[in-house]
Amino acid sequence: MDKINIALLGLGNVGGGVFEILKTNIEEIQERSGCDIQISKILVRNPNKKRCVDVPEELITTNPDDIFNDESIKIVVEVMGGIDPAKEYMIKAMKKKKHVVTANKLVIATTGAELIRTAKEEGVRFCYEASVAGGIPIINGINESLTANKIEEIIGIINGTTNYILTKMYLDNMDFGTALKEAQDKGYAEADPTSDVEGFDAVYKLSILTYLAFGKLVNPDLVYREGISKIDAMDIEYAKEFGYVIKLLAIVKDDNGVLELRVHPTMIPERHPLANVNDSFNAILIKGNAVGELMMYGRGAGDLPTGSAVVADVISIVRNVNDPIFKLSESKSGNLKRIRKMEETTSEYYIRITVKDEPGVLGRISSILGAHNVSLLSVIQKGKRQEYVTLVFVTHKTLEGNINKSIEEINSLSFVDKVENIIRVEKME
Ligand code: NAP
Ligand code: HSE
């Protein structure tokens, strides 16, 4: 049996998972790849760190050139994270004619074009199945199994950390900080969890999905983003009262050539399949013009689920090692005209406001909303904090621009203490 040497750049959560899978499933992997895949070098920052996996000392290095200059290494697996030096190392590996596998959505979403170009120029393969939704085979799903379709819409829960936090807040009344700490301890969160909590991670993944499904590389800075840090126990309670669950959704739609892209917390009906995607699980709902609606569900983070996708890419390269088929498709039909401005999008809205408990307050706010064409579905007044009360409005479907104008006026009213939160409500029909 041929032996294929590979190297890992990084031995953290994902690197550890890759190491473990290659060891535990050695027989299946040999049978399916027809090769004996061996890790021959692992780059780390700190060689003295205690690892979760039992790695022979001689494999560990802190010098990346030990990998680039080793001609026996055919595949480099980047599981370090970050842009620098991850991108530089991947390009160096490609220039040394090594195939590259990565789990790094940040680097693909921000510098993917350069990596793709380099891989093509060097005639090596560049695979990134693990970069979106961990163990769910979504990249291959779109690129191969759904390739006959014109994709119309993708709606996904694609960040495991925030889904874990929201689940714990909703089902166990856990506070935000404790839930985040648990997600970090389980290895779901990024090195800097701000990326998860504030929705950046989901934006990177959405950019990659948009590229695959619509052939358009969208700069992540152009994607509307809101994280979950503003979600309060009170919002969760109101959501329950209205029969909704709050999820961080990543949405991309092609509306006759106008692309709508956004990541934000959303109230969705509790009976919708996405509402029942809990803990670190991810799910992606895709609408294709031939296949109709389909949903992929699985673990979106963690060492073994992510390692499963990384090792699958390695095996796929090994199977075609002399046949550089690119998994990356360049811009497709090119019928996309523009990205829709957020104020042109429509939704129903949940608006929570703290106001002074005075006569005429409700009427004044309702009339401002009415003047901006925002019609109300329901209004609740609850709780008294000294002279303050909470008002909650749920609107009918309206333009985001109308909500923005209303909130600007409402904020200027003397009896309004604070517009505490605004959450989009999607009926998902
Ligand atoms: P991690 O636990 O922080 O591990 C990072 C590893 O890279 C560590 O072993 C670290 O070395 C090494 N490293 C970092 N910078 C380095 C440098 N400059 N030189 C040498 N080694 C360096 O990260 P992770 O959670 O495994 O995530 C890795 C990648 O997978 C990220 O791109 C992440 O977005 C992506 N990802 C993660 C998950 C998940 O569930 N965690 C899921 C999907 C994708 P030391 O150990 O010596 O510090
Ligand atoms: N931090 C990411 C998440 C890891 O929580 O989903 C998987 O990409």
Q: Return the ligand number nearest the Cα of 250.
A: 2
CA 403 to CA 421: how far, in whole Å? 12
The ligand whose atoms approach the alpha carbon of 106 most closely is 1
CATH hierarchy code of domain 343-425: 3.30.70.260
For range 345-367, the mean pLDDT:
95
List residues near ligand 2 (CB under 6 A).
Answer: 134, 159-161, 188-190, 196, 201, 300-301
Instruction: Give the distance (Å) from ligand 1 centre to CA of residue 388.
Output: 47
Q: Is the pLDDT of residue 329 over 70?
A: no
Q: CB neighbours (10 Å) of residue 113?
A: 13
Catalytic hit among 92, 205, 216, 253: 205
11 annotated as belonging to a binding site for a ligand: yes
SS3 readout for the chain: CEEEEEEEECCCHHHHHHHHHHHHCHHHHHHHHCEEEEEEEEECCCCCCCCCCCCCHHHEECCCHHHHCCCCEEEEEECCCCCCCHHHHHHHHHHCCCEEEECCHHHHHHHHHHHHHHHHHHCCCEECHHHCCCCCCHHHHHHHHCCCCCEEEEEEECCHHHHHHHHHHHHHCCCHHHHHHHHHHCCCCCCCCHHHHCCHHHHHHHHHHHHHHHCCCCCHHHCEECCCCCCCHHHHHHHHHHCEEEEEEEEEEEECCEEEEEEEEEEEECCCHHHHCCCCEEEEEEEECCCEEEEEEEECCCHHHHHHHHHHHHHHHHHCCCCCCCCCCCCCCCCCCEECCHHHCEEEEEEEEEEECCCCHHHHHHHHHHHCCCCEEEEEEEEEECCEEEEEEEECCEEHHHHHHHHHHHHCCCCEEEEEEEEEECCCC
Å from CA of 10 to ligand 1 middle? 5
Q: What is the pLDDT of residues 271-324, one digit of tens each?
A: 999 999 999 999 999 999 999 999 999 999 999 999 999 999 999 999 986 554
Tell me the domain boundaries of the chain. Answer: 2-133+304-327, 138-300, 343-425
Q: Which ligand has an atom closest to residue 17 CA?
A: 1
Per cent of the chain over pLDDT 90 is 90
pLDDT of residue 334: 55
Average pLDDT over the chain reads 94
How far away, in angstroms, is 160 Cα from ligand 2 center? Answer: 5
Domain 2-133+304-327 has CATH 3.40.50.720: yes
Q: What pLDDT sits at residue 1?
A: 85
- Residue 14 counted as an annotated binding residue: yes
Q: Which fold, 138-300?
A: Dihydrodipicolinate Reductase; domain 2 (3.30.360)
Task: Of 280, 312, 283, give the one whose Cα is nearest residue 103.
Answer: 312
In testing the pocket of ligand 2, which one of 107, 128, 188 has its CB within 8 Å of the most ligand atoms? 188
Is 205 designated active site? yes
pLDDT for 429 equals: 80
pLDDT in tens, 165-180: 999 999 999 999 999 9
Annotated binding residue at 10? yes
Structure confidence at residue 321 (pLDDT): 63
Of the pLDDT bands very low, low, confident and very high (cuts 50, 70, 90), residue 327 is very low
Which ligand 2 atom is nearest residue 202's CA? 6
**Ligand 1 close to Cβ of residue 103 (< 6 A):** yes
**From the CA of 263, how far away is ligand 2's center (Å)?**
15
What is the predicted pLDDT for the residue at 385? Answer: 67
Kindly indicate the confidence band of residue 328, based on its pLDDT and cuts at 50, 70 and 90: very low
Q: Is the CB of 407 under 6 A from ligand 1?
A: no
288 is in an annotated binding site: no
